Amino acid sequence: MKLRHPCYRLRLTFRQQFRCFGTKYSGRVVVEAEDGRSFAVEVDAPTLQADSRGYALPRRDLICKISQILKSPPSASSDPFLDLSDYLDTLTLTLTPSEASEILKNLKSPTLALRFFRFCPSEIPKFRHDCFTYNRILLILSKSSLQNRLDCVREIVDEMERSGISGNISTVNLLIGIFGDGQQGSGLNELTRCLGLVQKWDLRLNCYSYKCMLQAYIRLSNSDKALEVYREMRRRGYRLDIFAYNMLLDALARDQKVDQAYKVFEDMKKWHCEPDEYTYTILIRMTGKLGKPGESLSFFQEMLSKGISPNLMAYNTMIEALAKGRMVDKTIFVFSKMVENSCRPNEFTYSIILNVLAAEGQLGRLDEVVEISKRYMNKPIYAYLVRTLSKLGHANEAHRLFCNMWSFHDGGDRDAFLSMLESLCNSKKVTEAIDLLNKMNEKGVKTDTFMYNTVFSALGKLKQISHLHDLYEKMKLDGPSPDIFTYNILISSFGRAGQVEEALKIFEELENSNCKPDIVSFNSLINCLGKNGDIDEAHVKFIEMQEKGLNPDVVTYSTLIECFGKTEKVEMAYRLFDEMLAAGCYPNIVTYNILLDCLERSGRTSEAVSLYAKLKEQGLTADSITYAILERLQSGSHRTTRVRRQHPITGWVVSPLR
């Protein structure tokens, strides 16, 4: 190599910032020009420093440079690995496995690390991975969230076996940890393979290896194998830590292997591994699920005698065990101790107590529970209790607790108010519901359309039209804006009460509002008009609905067919049925029952039998109403008294005549 320099004697050192070399080179002048303006230098290969075992020490500057190249963002014109190849071509020394391991450690991306791992043996001459580089890439994959992570690990292990590279015990431990998080079937097979690698590589499992195997089998829900590993550890004199003991106890408790769990617990104390609150919680839960609250209480008392302070999980587990045994007094006593020891109850705690009080008919003691935990009774807890009592159907207790919350808290909780409102409406206490709706603003809770709709629906079902009208006027005056559900509920409610003019007025308001009528709006109005005798206007609305681009559904057709059937217009009812089929709207069992009843009542037996055949062809199942109509057809009894019953599924239906 020839260099030009004004100096005659020079020891050359190429700096990294100029030539990007990761290693310093030195040389000596072997040929010099007479004028001194040029000379030749022979460069000596650098001697790499080695550790005490003879392994070359990693070159930190080289590692940093390669890491920098790989971490550089890729672009359309360059690829980091092409840049790396060009850089490595400038070096006379090859990359060592230890340096490759350090570079892998620097790479944050598992995908990038895996690509570099593949790059080294394929692009770097005479490079061969060793056990440590394999361990490094396995460690990276073990922490990654790649979807094909397990497949990549299997490929790497296969490559190790093909290359004749023997792993060490760390390799086995990593593989156990990786496959221990896999699927049940494949995970067990891979763990068996790991044990085979131990024999093939002539290794010996250490204490940490056994712990990894134990945890892997537990994660794969195989407590039998985990117990075998535990016994092997005991035979070899290895000891578990508290974490491993708790995992094993929990696995045995989940599989209801009570005797084995007790034996492990005794071994734990024998080997001077002191149980903690999680250990006792596992045992309390196990005995509680077995219906042995006495044993659960014994474990709880043993925990207290050892000076262990129960946490929230321990208290909840103990309370749950006592509640399952219907031991109300002891449940409340443990709850009081929980509060006394400054352990804040959560919603789960209260739900356990509520359920046992309701089951034992002692909901009156809920006040005692509230008094015990009054320093922890905040709005979310009150809201949860009110909501839960409402769902359980205990409206009176929910209302009493709600009034208690009203007295002690300045601000309200929307969920609690809504739950109380729904509870009052479901229990038909609409006067109290209206009063609550009017007073919400006092507690800073803003009423919304959903709350009004809840009360409207309850009032409509009870046909309390005066209250319905007054509340709607109040809503328009200072409440939230009505939505499509509001208008539909009002139309249906006024129609149910026979207030046709009011229903038409609401429908007109709907058309002039920002909301536009939907198929439910038209169905409600058609039902209102038809059931109140104005069948012609109902048919007009049916045609108007189609003109506005709304396709009638099975409810629309069934309603009109019923209305025409009531007015003895059988031909019109049958024509609508045919039109329904032509429009691709398939009738349901309710539609068939309506038309069958109409045909039977008018004495058109053959047509009724033919219609029943269509019902069977459509694959529908006849119900009790269908069979009642058929029975009348056979007996020839044509009755004219109509009795309406609510269908348990659809909510409306024409009952058979009787």
Is 70 exceeded by the pLDDT of residue 182? no
Write down the pLDDT at residue 52.
55
Mean pLDDT of 469-484: 89
Contact 261, 286 (CB under 8 A): yes
Write down the pLDDT at residue 292.
92
- Residue of 161 and 21 predicted with greater confidence: 161
Is 80 exceeded by the pLDDT of residue 276? yes
Percent of the chain with pLDDT strictly greater than 90: 39
Amino acid at 170: S
Rounded to the nearest 10 degrees, how much is the dihedral formed by the CA atoms of 553, 556, 561, 562?
Answer: 130
Q: Which candidate, 341, 390, 403, 325, places its Cα nearest to that of 363?
A: 390
Write down the pLDDT at residue 246.
94
Write down the pLDDT at residue 388.
83
Over residues 50-67, the pLDDT tens digits come to 555 555 556 888 889 999
Is 90 exceeded by the pLDDT of residue 328? yes
Mean pLDDT of the chain: 84
Least confident stretch, 3-17, 223-237, 321-335, 439-453: 3-17
Residues 6+ apart with CB under 8 A from 3: 12, 38, 39, 40, 41
Unique residue bearing structure tokens 């790991």: 194
Half-sphere CA count of 75, side-chain side, radius 13 A = 5
Least confident stretch, 398-407, 587-596, 633-642: 633-642
Mean pLDDT of 399-406: 76
Q: Which candidate, 302, 260, 266, places its Cα nearest to that of 281?
A: 302
pLDDT interval class at 642 (50, 70, 90) = very low
Domains defined for the chain, CATH in brackets: 378-470 (1.25.40.10), 481-550 (1.25.40.10), 554-634 (1.25.40.10)
Write down the pLDDT at residue 609.
86
Amino acid at 452: Y
- The per-residue DSSP string of 397-410 comes to HHHHHHHHHHHH-S
Backbone angles phi, psi at 648, to 5 degrees: -65, -20
Q: By three-state DSSP, how is residue 60 classified?
A: helix
618: number of Cβ within 10 Å: 13
Write down the pLDDT at residue 565.
82
pLDDT interval class at 245 (50, 70, 90) = very high
Distance CA 566, CA 534 (A): 12
Q: Which candidate, 70, 68, 87, places its Cα nearest to that of 79?
A: 70
Over residues 11-54, the pLDDT tens digits come to 333 333 333 444 555 666 667 777 667 767 666 655 555 555 55
The residues that bridge with 39 in the sheet, in sequence order, are 3, 32
Put the strands of the sheet holding 2-3 in their side by side order.
Answer: 2-3, 39-44, 26-32
Between strands 26-32 and 2-3, the pairing is unpaired
Write down the pLDDT at residue 25.
57
Over residues 564-591, the pLDDT tens digits come to 887 778 888 888 888 888 888 888 899 8
Write down the pLDDT at residue 437.
87
Q: By three-state DSSP, how is residue 40 classified?
A: strand
pLDDT interval class at 2 (50, 70, 90) = very low
Write down the pLDDT at residue 656.
39
Contact 21, 91 (CB under 8 A): yes
- Residue of 622 and 404 predicted with greater confidence: 622
pLDDT interval class at 8 (50, 70, 90) = very low
Query: How are the residues of the chain apportioned to helix, strand and coil, as percentages rounded to the nearest 5?
Result: 65, 5, 30
